[in-house]
Structure 1
Amino acid sequence: MRLWHVDLLEYLPRGQLLSQWRELNSIFAKEDKHILINYIYEYPKDELYVYTVKVMDEMKKRGYKVRAYEKMDNYFEDLESVKNVKPFKNHHDREYLQICYYNLKEKFIRGQKDYEEDMYDNLCKYVDDILLSQ
């Protein structure tokens, strides 16, 4: 279980993006605990909401059908207002960007079937630009 770095959502292969939606729904249903996502419970719930909307927006942008809003709606039903923030800023930092990048790089190198070369090249360019600019 992993919530990919928020800035890398647009570079995720189909499999990882669709899995992200499944993992979010699992959090909504059970408030899953897992070493790779436990940090989200340290943040206000609106940050998970913003992250979720970003995942949904990317899915819609690619033409994927987003179904089953019920778990999400139930999970966020007590949320009154949402600030448009960059979610999980203390965890989705430069180091986590690198961790996610190398994870995706390995998937590409090992031949993940739905990871197109142009998407991987765009990921590499984005990460290089970020890492070189800081």
Structure 2
Amino acid sequence: MRLWHIDLIAYLPKGQLLSQWRELNSIFAKEDQHILINYIYEYPKEDLYLYTEKVMDEMKKRGYQIRTYEKKNNYFKGLGPVKDRRPFQQHHNQEYLEICFYNLKEKFIRGQRDYEEEMYQQLCTYINNVL
């Protein structure tokens, strides 16, 4: 279980993006505990909401259908207006960006079927510009 660095959502292959939505729904349903995501509970719910919106926006941009919002809506029920800001600021830092990049790089090198060369090259260009 992993919430990818927020800056890399646009560069995730289909499998990782769809898995991200499944993992978010699992958090919404059970408030999962896992060593790679426990940090999210140190932040206000607004952070997870903003992160979720980013994932959903990318899915919609790619034309993926979201069948139900029920778990999301229940989880964030009663949440007031959310100011746009950078979620999970302390954890989604440069070190975590590098960790996620190398994880994605390994998936590409090992031949993940849905990881297209063009998307991987866009990821590398982005990383080279920010690191």
Partner of 2:73: 73
Partner of 1:52: 52
Partner of 2:43: 43
Partner of 1:13: 13
CA drift of 1:68 comes to 1.5
Name the CA distance, whole Å, in 1 between partners of 2:54 and 2:96: 18
Q: After TM superposition, what 4+ stretches of structure 1 lie above 6 angstroms from structure 2?
A: none
1:42-80 residue CA offsets vs partner (Å, 9 max, x unmatched): 000011000000000000000000121000000000211
State TM-score, norm by structure 1.
0.97
Partner of 1:93: 93
State TM-score, norm by structure 2.
0.99
Partner of 1:123: 123
Counterpart amino acid of 1:19?
S
Structure 1: stretches of 5+ with no match in the other structure? none
Partner of 1:26: 26
Counterpart amino acid of 1:121?
Q
Structure 2: stretches of 5+ with no match in the other structure? none
SS of match in other structure, 2:67: coil
CA drift of 1:106 comes to 0.1
Q: Percent identity?
A: 73
SS of match in other structure, 2:113: coil
Name the CA distance, whole Å, in 2 between partners of 1:83 and 1:5: 20
SS of match in other structure, 1:2: coil
Partner of 1:2: 2
Counterpart amino acid of 2:107?
K
Aligned Cα RMSD in Å? 0.5
Name the CA distance, whole Å, in 1 between partners of 2:67 and 2:9: 19
SS of match in other structure, 2:126: helix
